Amino acid sequence: LPPPQVEGSSEQLEGSVTTHVLNTVTGRPAAGLALRLARLQGPGPQWTELVQRVTDEDGRCLPLLAPGQAAASTYKLRFETAPYWQGLGHSSLYPYVEVVFTIADPAQKLHLPLLISPYSYTAYQGS
């Protein structure tokens, strides 16, 4: 028998766009970090906010776009890093981190992890 599904399990976290945030100072997930996803709309250009999330104890959140919701377009994922670091008693060079990316194939799943410290960050395409 398959194991029972619990809240926050990978089954519930699957979607067309997902993220995971890790605190590289502690080597632990970044829990309680707010983030927003927006899509570039034309003409203008103008960003339209699609969703807001907060990371859980594992540094993950519900999918930013559910399966079938993605469209071929340019998106921006904004992580609110300053409030996160302030909550841990740290100052931070970056008040937020914005990762702009393009979805070329809406059928493909896209996982965008973020590694953060108060004075650096790294974003990459994960699996």
Q: Binding site for substrate: what residues are annotated?
A: 20, 60, 124
Q: For 88-106, give the DSSP string.
A: TT---S-S-EEEEEEES-T
Nearest 10 degrees: CA dihedral of 54, 93, 49, 69? -60
Task: List 77's β-bridge partners, or say none.
Answer: 37, 99
Peptide bond before 106: cis, by omega within 30 degrees of 0?
no
Nearest 10 degrees: CA dihedral of 87, 37, 107, 68? 100
- Provide the annotated binding site: 20, 60, 124
